Amino acid sequence: MELVIQNLSKTYPGGVRALRDVSLTIPTGMFGLLGPNGAGKSTLMRTLATLQEPESGTVRLGELDLLREKDAVRRVLGYLPQEFGLYPNLSAEVVLDHFATLKGISSGKERARAVTALLEQTNLAAVRRSPVGGFSGGMKQRLGIAIALLGAPKLVIVDEPTAGLDPTERHRFLNLLSEIGQDIVVILSTHIVEDVRELCSNVAIIAAGQVRAQGSPDALIERLRGTIWRRRISRDALAAVRAQHRVISTRLIAGAPEIRVHAASSPGDGFVQVEPDLEDVYFEQVTAASAGEAA
Ligand code: ADP
């Protein structure tokens, strides 16, 4: 089953064009939607989660018209929003049982079985009776994914799930996502390139409401081969170099700036050609978008 998004546009009251003619074909497996803050990721995720209407465009999930057959879509949808509230005094088990009821799992036995399986899958079985108000950020996100996985969804959407997690929790969460399965469509929206690099066989880069690039990480990286150059420079020289070259990123290496420049041939003395990585792909596209270049 594929998710096929065609020509989706959304302008908010006030005039922000959050989505501009977005078209994407998303196969089963883990798909990364990568973009900076304000790119339109959440707008797209909320639209796909049937919570918000676009002005124009169509979305199909297999045979379903996602924008028209909302009830049918919701039965096969799992959504972990960027922010969600939970009653702090309820236990993980009670919360999950409640959401299982909302998902339409009416048999108590079946619910108990689903809740237990998901608590185990998300490594929360030991704290099943603890109030969720005391959970760490990582535990809350794992409970969120357990809620999203209730009812065996065919489309799972997770919006910026690792923001605010420490490295151990982040890894645990990404491992959990990687185990969801390759038979369903999983969309991971994030501004963290590493999350996508580790998990996703396909990615799209979105900036200023537009899809800038899409494909496998390796194919996107390959397109930049031979065009990325790095150089250590002093802080004072940064502005001058920026004016002269297309600087796509600045990293601090032991406190000193190291720039990466996109150029078809050597930008000059002191530059060393490097193997491109997915961050270069991402920053190149974000730089082009903020310079107002066409996608
Ligand atoms: P992202 O998730 O990539 O950070 P969003 O979809 O949240 O991007 O936002 C895209 C753009 O739309 C931003 O400029 C944001 O300020 C604007 N926006 C988001 N939600 C609303 C809203 N409800 N009303 C008006 N503008 C909004």
pLDDT at 56: 97
pLDDT at 255: 85
pLDDT at 151: 92
* Residue ranges per structural domain of the chain: 3-216, 226-274
Q: Which residue has the least CA distance to atom 22 on ligand 1? A: 12
Fold of 3-216: Rossmann fold (3.40.50)
pLDDT in tens, 129-174: 999 999 999 999 999 999 999 999 999 999 999 988 999 999 999 9
pLDDT in tens, 25-82: 999 999 999 999 999 999 999 999 999 999 999 999 999 999 999 999 999 999 999 8
Q: Which residue has the least CA distance to atom 19 on ligand 1? A: 43
pLDDT at 14: 93
d(CA 116, CA 142): 14
Report how far ligand 1's centroid is from the alpha carbon of 191 (Å).
Answer: 14
Q: Which atom of ligand 1 is closest in space to residue 35's alpha carbon?
A: 3
pLDDT at 227: 97
Q: Which atom of ligand 1 is closest in space to residue 36's alpha carbon?
A: 3
**278: confidence class by pLDDT, cuts 50, 70, 90:** very high
pLDDT in tens, 221-242: 999 999 999 999 998 888 999 9
Tokens found for residue 9: 């546009």
DSSP structure string for 157-211: EEESTTTT--HHHHHHHHHHHHTS-SSSEEEEEES-HHHHHHH-SEEEEEETTEE
Q: Which atom of ligand 1 is closest in space to residue 19's alpha carbon?
A: 10
| Cβ neighbours of 290 (radius 10 Å) | 11
To test the ligand 1 pocket, which listed residue (10, 12, 80) has its Cβ within 8 A of the most ligand atoms? 12
pLDDT, average across residues 3-28: 97
pLDDT at 170: 92
Tokens found for residue 66: 């996602």
Distances (CA, A) of 172 to 120, 124, 163, 233, 254: 14, 12, 13, 37, 29
pLDDT, average across residues 206-212: 97
d(CA 180, CA 29): 9
Is the CB of residue 210 less than 8 Å from the CB of residue 22?
yes
Report the pocket of ligand 1 as residue ranges, CB < 6 Å. 12, 14, 16, 18, 35, 37-43
Report how far ligand 1's centroid is from the alpha carbon of 38 (Å).
Answer: 6
